[in-house]
Amino acid sequence: MTGPVKGSEAPDFALPADGGGEIRLSDFRGKNVVLFFYPKNDTSGCTAEAIDFTALKPEFDVLDTVLLGMSPDSPKSHDKFKSKHALTVSLVSDQEKETLQAYGVWVEKSMYGRKYMGVERSTYLIDREGRIAECWRKVKVPGHAQSVLDATKALESGR
């Protein structure tokens, strides 16, 4: 597994987002950022994860923390996904997979003996200075959003 490690600078990106426009990570300097990578819109695990983060968004807002979900899906697909599930997190599209590779989450996977490339469900907590504060790899969805919230509270209490 490659990708940035705790304490290193988070790789910047400028990518298309849901609702049109572009999201640039560096635009959020001075705020914490939760960047969660997920395989595909509207699949059961990805939907549950996005709904969990949406449910906790008011608590992240109090901590001055931005929630960004990223997948290789198109911005149009993100718009449909957000609308269908009333999601309030921002969704970023990395169809070229450059940012997914920079974070080390575009990996070889295997299902039923067939190998293919895909997104490893992962989350990075990025501090106000743009450094990796925490990283979760091979995430299991149940309870994950709460764990990230707890880590964000701990990060803020240590300021």
Tell me: the pLDDT tens digits for 83-103? 999 999 999 999 999 999 999
Task: Judge whether residue 60 has pLDDT over 70.
Answer: yes
Residue-averaged pLDDT of the chain: 95
Pick from 74, 117, 115, 78: which is nearest to 95 by CA? 74
Q: Are 103 and 112 in contact (CB under 8 A)?
A: no
Section 106-125 average pLDDT: 93
Q: Catalytic residue numbers?
A: 46
pLDDT score recorded for residue 2: 79
Q: Are 115 and 109 in contact (CB under 8 A)?
A: yes
pLDDT score recorded for residue 158: 81
pLDDT score recorded for residue 40: 96
Pick from 13, 9, 5, 19: which is nearest to 104 by CA? 5
> Within 13 Å of residue 86, how many CA atoms lie on the same side as its CB?
1
Task: Judge whether residue 14 has pLDDT over 90.
Answer: yes
Section 29-53 average pLDDT: 96
Predicted TM-score of the model (pTM): 0.95
Structure tokens at 93: 């599209």
Distance CA 45, CA 10 (A): 25
pLDDT score recorded for residue 1: 53
pLDDT score recorded for residue 3: 83
pLDDT score recorded for residue 159: 73
In this prediction, residue 63 has a pLDDT band, given cuts at 50, 70 and 90, of: very high
Task: Judge whether residue 77 has pLDDT over 90.
Answer: yes
